Amino acid sequence: MLPDNASIRHAAREAASEVAGQPIRDGQRLVTSALIDSLSVLKLISLLEKKLHVRIPPETLQPEDFDEVDLIVRTIERVAKPAT
């Protein structure tokens, strides 16, 4: 079972803040503002998998899928699978 929207949003904001090294607000651009780079996106995915206990298959994702908290939430809801 996947976490609910509020849990995903909280984890996304927390993980993005950790990767960026500063607090992240909803709507704040991460990738397009160069706050995080494509390698940092991989770290973000790994953190989200640990925090949410899900698997996020990276092969169909683009860095832009993680450009802001709302996009992260939608991406996780779309592609994440429960961790086994």
Q: Which domains does the chain have, with CATH numbers?
A: 5-82 (1.10.1200.10)
The pLDDT assigned to 25 comes to: 93
State how far the alpha carbon of 73 is from the alpha carbons of 8, 21, 67, 82, in Å: 6, 20, 11, 15
**CA 10/CA 14 separation, integer angstroms:** 6
Q: Determine the pLDDT at residue 84.
A: 76
Q: List beta partners, residue 82.
A: 54
pTM, to two decimals: 0.92
User: Mean pLDDT throughout 22-29?
Assistant: 96
* pLDDT value of position 31: 96
Q: For residue 46, what pLDDT is reported?
A: 96
pLDDT bin (cut points 50, 70, 90) of residue 74 is very high
pLDDT 10s digits, 35-69:
999 899 999 999 999 999 999 998 889 999 999 99
Q: How many CB atoms within 10 Å of residue 20?
A: 16
